[in-house]
Every structure is written in structure tokens, then in C-alpha cells.
């Protein structure tokens, strides 16, 4: 393996020196022109081919023989020249020098697994709050090809398990299960969400009714550390997790993914690939802010919307829980039946505004408008219509009419102001016709929504009725940037689940999904790998249990109670990653490297002696590149303790944790 890597490094250097002999490929300051080299290769430039054939190593590397004829492997050559290991930056040059490369291919294979470790690239400064810190969250990522993965996605050991209820925190004695043996506890888990999902798969696969995630939007160029493939890295990061998440859904289950403009199109294609375009349900447009008071700095209209993409596991099995939203009084409902209790043929119908004006002591609508004002009169009409909705109506065209109904409609058209009744099944209700049209009662638009009798319309795919103002302190935790209103999450959970169903959010963030699920009687699982899990979702859920009255609490009459189980993935190499990211100086990193050589699980590609022999080149790297390199030296299959090694004394898993893990995994 080492010989092959050295040979590859040799060909890098040899090709560079060879190409510099062609003046067309060198800039005035002596830099090799990659693009020009690729362009000439695409054209099968004779001088370039002659140059490559003049050297034994390049001839062997980029040409192959077919029936004694040499063929130029153009694609291989272009791939080679395009690769960042050829004419590398200082970081890549160092990696090449010590032999730490990704396999034998120049470009990583498909089906990568991207692991991401979020960390803060600055310390808290004066006046900064946690939402500022979260905005600065960036990700170290590493792409692992299939050959590098062996036990990465094996079940992991859980530790620090505790039950939290109204009386406080308690050591976990065991898990609650239903009659089918499924764990019924609410769970909040700290750890890498890709690995946590893999660990939960055995217990919860095929049991989750609804998944809601608000993932990183991938909107900034440095959101993921990858020099060339920012978008592809984000897509790989998401696909790994969505592929796993799909396994959790019931056949009638669904996933809701929230995203901004930047990656909405890419996400749609990705979800099509994972769930199938035939399982697409809706794209919801959500107004998240108002343009008033803002000034856009980018060309184009001001952006106020985000999007929620909804897919079913099996769309045909998905059941939509109908929802309605509040709306203003529709003044087309302008007629009023004075004697609704009488036989319909004897109904007395008058103008609604006229009736309300008379009830308020005015002789006409005109007088009421003059003395009350137009808006005050309209308000009184709206209030009256709401209370007397069974007697207020408008006329609409007759739809879905049989021959009998058409005949009666024609008769009613010819007999003005006479109400006709078309008898129908009691479940549907009789149909009332007037002047050739159907009577539509206002009562069909009036509903009790959140304890208030109000006019309503059916929910559409444009949501502009939920306010995002004043939600910063919902749940007793502060997170201004990225926090979602509890009313929004409640609508989503109500749309796709029922009481006691399981809801999953593996980007738990501020814990809104978990808090809402707790208040409306859903079982939930939340995953978050950041340390603010204690300040945000965990703290928020503690507030919920104590009777938090923010968000949707008053609407749903939340009084507190319930509990949840907190647990963490037991760290191993993850501990080293945290130490590396927290280090401030090269001296600290050098000390960590000495410790890592003794106790960390290093990648099989790493030769500590080679690294130590090139320590000067390492010191010359930036602090960020030193951290990146040390993280790459770690074996990513050993980030957390694997369940299969739970009783290995080297990992120090306590007897109690061994017992609880065996109970959790049903061993």
C-alpha cells in the first residue's frame, strides 16, 4: 500500500516537470496552467501526446495498448490533472508527502458517507448570545468511500442515561414498553445524528408516523469544509441521513423537510431519489418574515419565504388530517332567514346588513353607515353572521346535480323567491334551492379553532397566517436565528399524525418539535450533537414538563407533566475530535498528537513515524489545516463505542450502562 502511494506521488512530480517543458502550458510566472493542459488533452493535441510518450512513466500511466496500437486514456489524464492532489495546496501537499490519501482513485467513489462534526470557530465575545454562537456553527466533514467503512454504522453504546420528570433528574431504572414490546418513552439523544439513527434502527424501524427536520440549509460557501464540491457535499450529507430515516417510517408515515430558496431545488431532486417522485405529497410555501423595515442587498425581490417538502413512505397509504385556518367574514354571505325553524317553503329572507342595521336602531343601511361608520357596521354584521351562521347564506351554482335536481332547479328559477328542498341522505343533508341556485349556509365555514368560534377556510399550500414575530423566547430558551414557531410545528404534526404516534426530529436544534409533540400527546425522538443540547432542547423540555405557558400552551390547555429519557452515544474518537476543535495553538495540537499516538484509534492509512519525520511541514500549516489533518488521522469507524465491544474493559462502560443497553437493544 505504501509503495503504491509513493509511486503515485512520484508521478505527480514527474508529470509536473514534464508538462513545464511545453511553453504553452506555463504562465509568465512559471505556474503550470491546468485548464490549458486539459483543453489540449481534449483536442488530442499532437505535441502534448508526443511529450507524454517521451517519458516512460507517463507513457505507462496514461496509455494502453490495443493490438500493438497505443491508445491515449484521455479521461484518466484529465481526471488526474483536475485532481487537487496534482499541483496541490500546502495542506494537500503535506498529505501526499506523508502518504495519507483516500484510496487509490483520484476522485472518490459514489455512495460516500459524509460525517460532519459541528464546532464553533470562535469563542463567545462580549455581548454575544447563544443564537450568535449557533450562526457561526460550521462543519468539519470527511467523505468516506465504501471501502473505508466497516463498523461505522453498527449500533453504538448509550451512556449517561437518565429520566427527567417534574421532580427532576433520576438515574434510569429501565425503559417503558407497550404490549408489542416497543419502547414508549420520549427520547432525546446527544451524538452524531447519522450514527444515532443507525443505532435506533433496530428498535424503531417501521414505527415512526412523522419525521420533521429543519437541517442545515447549505446556504453559505463555508458551511461544509470542501474545497470544490460544496453542494455535492451537502447533498451527500443529506442523502446519508434521509436513506436511514426512510427506514423508520410506517407505510402510512410521512416526512416534512424545511428548506430555503438556496437548496430547495436540489432537495426536491434528492427526496425524489430517496422516496420516489410518486410519493411526493406537497410543497408548502411558508412566509417567515415581512419585508417592511428591511432593505434587500441582493438583486431581485425581497425573500420572505421558506419551503416545506412533504413525502410519504407510501403515498397511497398516507391519510391527510384535514385542517382549517381562520379567515375574515365573507360578505358574499349577505342573506338572512328570519324564521329558519319554520318549513323551508315558508322561509322569510331579508338582506343581512339591512337586518343588522334595523336591530341597531337605524332605518336603513345608509343611515347606519353614516352614523356608525362603514367599518363599524361591517364588524357588527360579521359578529351577527358568526353567531347566527345557521341562518346566514349565499347563493352558489348547483354542482354535481342529478336529473331530479336539475328539474327542481329549473322550476325554482321560474318561481322567484320560493325555496325548494331536494331530499338527500341524512349524512349528506338536504339541498335547498332558490332562484335556480343552491343555498350555501355560512355555518359550513364556521368552526371552533383553538377555542374560538371563527370563520375558516381549508388549509392551502401557502401558509402566511403564522406569525414569526415574538417567538425568540418560546419554551424559555433564546434562539432568534433559525427557531421555528410552535404553531407551525403543531400544524405539521397535526397534519400527519395522531395522538400517541411517534414523531422523529434528528436535527433537534432548539427543541421546538419535541416541545410541541410533548404538549399534544405524541411520543417523540430527538437527536442533537451540539453541546447546546443541554441549554436548548433539554432545558426546553424541562420547562414543558413544569408547565411552560409559551407557544401553543394556552391554545391546547397545557398544564405540564410527563417525562423523557436523556441519553448519549458513548464517545471514543469523538472525544479526540472535540479536544482538537477546542485547541487554540499549535503547541496544544502537538501535545494532542503525542497523546493520540498512544491511545486513539488511528486510521489504517496513518504511519505515525512518517508524520513525525515531517513535523516541520505540519507546523507550517495553518491552525485550521492542522486540526483538519489530525481529525483525518482518526479512524471514523471508532467515533463512538460499538455495542459489540460494550464489555471490553478498554472502553470503561459501567455495569449499569451494560444492563441498560442490553435492555434497550432487546438482548
Banded pLDDT at 194 (limits 50, 70, 90): very high
Range in 113-117, 198-202, 612-616, 625-629 with the lowest mean pLDDT: 113-117
Range in 87-91, 158-162, 562-566 with the lowest mean pLDDT: 87-91
Residue 511 has pLDDT above 80, yes or no: yes
Determine the pLDDT at residue 86.
72
Q: What is the mean pLDDT of residues 399-416?
A: 84
What would the 3-class secondary structure string for 200-245 be? HHHHHCCCEEEEEECCCCCCCCCCECCCCCHHHHHHHHHHHHHHHH
Q: Find, among 646, 577, 526, 639, the residue nearest to 157 by Cα.
A: 646
**Segment holding 437, helix H or strand E:** strand 437-441
- Residues paired with 421 in a beta bridge: 432
**What's the grid cell of residue 487?**
404553531
Residue 226 has pLDDT above 50, yes or no: no
Determine the pLDDT at residue 292.
62
Residue 229 has pLDDT above 70, yes or no: no
Residue 409 has pLDDT above 90, yes or no: no
Confirm if 574 and 640 have CB atoms less than 8 A apart: yes
- Expressed in percent and rounded to 5, the helix, strand and coil fractions of the chain are 40, 20, 35
The owner of cell 485547541 is 583
Residue 223 has pLDDT above 70, yes or no: no
Banded pLDDT at 461 (limits 50, 70, 90): very high
Residue 456 has pLDDT above 80, yes or no: yes
Q: Which residue has the higher pLDDT, 382 or 138?
A: 382
Cα 48 to chain centroid distance, Å, stands at 49
Dihedral in degrees, nearest 10, Cα atoms 393, 399, 405, 406: 110
**What's the grid cell of residue 269?**
431532486
Q: Find, among 236, 251, 237, the residue nearest to 205 by Cα.
A: 251
DSSP state of 152: T
Determine the pLDDT at residue 403.
75
Q: What is the mean pLDDT of residues 435-442?
A: 94
Banded pLDDT at 224 (limits 50, 70, 90): very low
Q: How many CA atoms lie within 13 A of 80 on its CB side?
A: 19
Confirm if 87 and 32 have CB atoms less than 8 A apart: yes
**What's the grid cell of residue 607?**
504511519
Q: Which residue has the higher pLDDT, 494 or 42?
A: 494
Question: What is the Cα–Cα distance from 255 to 208, expressed in whole angstroms?
Answer: 10
Determine the pLDDT at residue 120.
46
Residue 487 has pLDDT above 80, yes or no: yes
Is this model's pTM higher than 0.95 or not?
no
Determine the pLDDT at residue 78.
85
Residue 234 has pLDDT above 60, yes or no: yes
Q: What is the mean pLDDT of residues 87-92?
A: 72
Determine the pLDDT at residue 656.
97
- Hey, how many other C-beta atoms are within 10 angstroms of the C-beta on 97? 16
Confirm if 11 and 77 have CB atoms less than 8 A apart: no
Q: What is the mean pLDDT of residues 82-95?
A: 72
Question: What is the Cα–Cα distance from 204 to 665, expressed in whole angstroms?
Answer: 11
Determine the pLDDT at residue 470.
79
Helices (H) and strands (E) in the chain, counts: 23, 24
Residue 351 has phi, psi (to 5 degrees) of: -70, 130
Determine the pLDDT at residue 29.
74
Confirm if 537 and 526 have CB atoms less than 8 A apart: yes
Range in 217-226, 382-391, 480-489, 533-542 with the lowest mean pLDDT: 217-226
DSSP state of 260: -
DSSP secondary structure, 338-386, as one string:
TTTTS-GGG--EEEHHHHHHHHTT-SSHHHHHHHH-HHHHHHHHHHHHH
Residue 628 has pLDDT above 70, yes or no: yes
Banded pLDDT at 135 (limits 50, 70, 90): very low
Q: What is the mean pLDDT of residues 338-348?
A: 95
Range in 120-124, 172-176, 401-405, 647-651 with the lowest mean pLDDT: 120-124
Residue 515 has pLDDT above 80, yes or no: yes
Q: What is the mean pLDDT of residues 127-131?
A: 41
Q: Find, among 323, 324, 306, 292, the residue nearest to 257 by Cα.
A: 306
Question: What is the Cα–Cα distance from 510 to 488, expressed in whole angstroms?
Answer: 14
Confirm if 230 and 224 have CB atoms less than 8 A apart: yes
Degrees to nearest 5, angle at CA 355 with 354 and 357 = 65
CA distances 382 to 239, 369, 452, Å, are: 51, 15, 15
DSSP state of 315: G
Question: Between the ranges 107-116, 123-132, 215-224, where is the mean pLDDT highest?
Answer: 107-116
When the pLDDT of each residue in the chain is averaged and rounded to a whole number, the result is 87
Determine the pLDDT at residue 227.
38
Residue 570 has pLDDT above 50, yes or no: yes
Q: Is 116 exposed, middle or buried (0-12, 13-18, 19+ CB in 10 A)?
A: buried
Question: What is the Cα–Cα distance from 573 to 22, expressed in whole angstroms?
Answer: 48
Q: What is the pLDDT of residues 202-219, one digit of tens each?
A: 999 999 999 999 998 875
| Helical spans, DSSP H, in 497-571 | 512-519, 539-545
- Hey, how many other C-beta atoms are within 10 angstroms of the C-beta on 83? 17
Range in 310-324, 335-349, 459-473 with the lowest mean pLDDT: 459-473
Q: Which residue has the higher pLDDT, 221 or 76?
A: 76
Question: What is the Cα–Cα distance from 417 to 439, expressed in whole angstroms?
Answer: 12
Question: What is the Cα–Cα distance from 158 to 643, expressed in whole angstroms?
Answer: 9
CA dihedral (8, 10, 13, 19) positive or negative: negative
Residue 111 has pLDDT above 60, yes or no: yes
Determine the pLDDT at residue 483.
82
Instruction: Enumerate domains of the chain plus CATH numbers.
Output: 2-87 (no CATH), 151-323+463-569 (3.40.50.150), 335-458 (no CATH)
In the β-sheet with 446-449, what is the strand arrangement from edge to edge?
324-326, 452-458, 446-449
Residue 419 has pLDDT above 50, yes or no: yes
DSSP state of 535: I
Euclidean distance between the first and the last CA atom of the chain, given in angstroms as a whole number: 40
Q: Which residue has the higher pLDDT, 484 or 125?
A: 484
Q: Which residues contact 47 (CB under 8 A, 6 or more apart)?
A: 22, 24, 40
Q: Is 389 left (phi over 0), alpha (psi -120 to 50) or beta?
A: alpha
Amino acid at each position: 500500500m505504501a509503495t503504491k502511494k509513493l509511486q503515485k506521488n512520484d508521478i505527480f512530480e514527474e508529470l509536473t516537470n514534464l508538462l513545464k517543458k511545453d511553453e504553452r502550458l506555463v504562465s509568465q510566472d512559471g505556474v503550470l496552467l491546468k485548464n490549458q493542459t486539459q483543453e489540449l488533452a481534449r483536442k488530442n493535441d499532437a505535441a502534448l501526446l508526443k511529450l507524454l510518450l517521451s517519458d516512460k512513466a507517463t507513457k505507462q500511466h496514461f496509455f494502453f495498448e490495443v493490438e500493438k496500437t497505443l491508445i491515449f486514456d484521455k479521461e484518466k489524464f484529465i481526471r488526474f490533472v483536475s485532481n487537487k492532489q496534482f499541483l496541490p495546496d500546502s495542506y494537500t501537499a503535506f498529505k501526499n508527502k506523508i502518504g495519507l490519501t483516500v484510496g487509490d482513485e483520484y476522485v472518490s467513489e459514489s455512495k460516500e458517507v459524509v460525517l460532519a462534526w459541528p464546532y464553533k470557530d470562535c469563542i463567545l465575545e462580549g455581548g454575544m448570545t447563544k443564537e450568535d454562537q449557533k450562526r457561526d456553527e460550521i462543519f468539519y466533514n470527511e467523505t468516506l468511500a465504501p471501502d473505508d467503512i466497516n463498523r461505522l454504522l453498527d449500533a453504538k453504546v448509550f451512556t449517561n442515561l437518565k429520566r427527567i420528570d417534574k421532580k427532576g433528574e433520576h438515574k434510569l431504572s429501565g425503559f417503558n414498553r407497550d404490549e408489542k414490546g416497543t419502547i414508549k418513552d420520549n427520547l432525546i439523544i446527544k451524538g452524531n445524528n447519522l450514527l444515532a439513527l443507525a443505532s435506533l434502527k433496530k428498535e424503531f424501524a417501521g414505527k415512526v408516523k412523522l419525521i420533521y427536520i429543519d437541517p442545515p440549509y447549505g446556504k453559505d460557501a463555508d458551511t461544509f469544509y470542501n474545497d470544490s464540491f460544496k453542494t455535492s457535499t451537502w447533498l451527500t450529507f443529506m442523502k446519508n441521513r434521509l436513506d436511514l430515516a426512510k427506514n423508520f417510517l410506517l407505510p402510512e408515515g410521512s416526512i416534512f423537510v424545511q428548506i430555503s430558496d438556496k437548496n430547495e431545488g436540489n432537495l426536491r431532486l434528492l427526496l425524489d431519489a430517496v422516496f420516489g417522485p410518486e410519493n411526493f405529497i406537497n410543497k408548502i410555501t411558508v412566509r417567515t418574515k415581512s419585508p417592511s423595515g428591511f432593505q434587500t442587498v441582493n438583486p431581485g425581490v425581497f425573500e420572505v419565504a421558506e419551503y416545506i417538502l412533504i413525502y410519504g413512505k407510501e403515498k397511497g397509504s398516507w391519510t391527510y388530517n384535514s385542517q382549517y385556518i381562520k379567515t375574515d367574514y365573507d360578505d358574499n354571505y349577505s342573506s338572512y332567514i328570519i324564521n329558519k325553524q319554520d318549513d323551508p317553503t315558508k322561509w322569510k329572507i331579508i338582506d343581512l346588513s339591512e337586518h343588522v342595521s334595523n336591530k341597531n336602531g337605524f332605518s336603513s343601511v345608509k343611515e347606519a353607515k353614516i352614523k356608525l361608520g362603514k367599518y363599524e357596521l361591517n364588524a357588527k354584521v360579521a359578529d351577527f353572521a358568526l353567531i347566527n351562521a345557521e341562518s346566514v347564506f349565499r347563493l352558489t351554482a348547483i354542482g354535481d346535480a342529478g336529473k331530479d335536481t336539475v328539474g327542481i332547479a329549473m322550476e325554482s328559477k321560474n318561481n322567484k323567491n320560493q325555496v325548494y328542498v331536494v331530499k338527500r341522505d341524512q349524512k349528506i343533508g338536504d339541498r335547498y334551492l332558490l332562484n335556480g341556485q343552491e343555498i350555501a349556509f355560512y355555518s359550513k365555514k364556521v368552526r371552533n379553532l383553538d377555542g374560538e368560534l371563527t370563520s375558516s377556510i381549508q388549509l392551502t399550500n401557502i401558509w402566511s397566517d403564522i406569525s414569526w414575530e415574538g417567538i425568540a423566547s418560546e419554551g424559555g430558551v433564546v434562539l432568534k436565528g433559525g427557531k421555528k414557531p410552535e404553531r407551525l410545528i403543531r400544524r405539521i404534526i397535526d397534519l400527519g399524525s395522531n395522538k400517541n404516534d411517534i414523531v422523529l426530529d434528528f436535527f433537534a436544534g432548539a427543541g421546538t418539535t419535541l416541545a410541541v409533540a410533548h404538549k399534544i400527546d405524541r411520543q417523540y425522538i430527538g437527536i442533537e450533537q451540539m453541546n447546546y443540547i443541554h441549554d436548548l432542547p433539554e432545558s426546553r423540555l424541562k420547562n414543558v414538563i413544569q408547565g411552560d405557558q409559551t407557544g401553543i400552551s394556552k391554545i391546547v390547555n397545557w398544564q405540564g407533566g410527563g417525562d423523557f429519557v436523556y441519553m448519549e452515544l458513548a464517545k471514543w474518537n469523538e472525544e479526540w475530535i472535540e479536544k482538537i476543535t477546542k485547541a487554540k495553538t499549535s503547541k496544544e495540537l502537538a501535545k494532542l498528537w503525542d497523546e493520540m499516538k498512544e491511545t486513539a484509534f488511528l486510521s489504517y492509512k496513518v504511519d505515525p513515524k512518517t508524520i513525525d519525520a515531517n513535523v516541520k511541514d505540519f507546523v507550517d500549516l495553518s491552525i485550521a489545516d492542522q486540526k483538519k489533518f489530525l481529525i483525518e488521522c482518526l479512524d471514523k469507524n471508532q467515533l463512538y463505542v460499538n455495542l459489540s465491544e460494550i464489555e471490553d474493559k478498554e472502553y470503561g462502560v459501567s455495569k449499569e450502562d451494560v444492563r441498560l443497553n442490553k435492555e434497550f437493544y432487546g438482548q
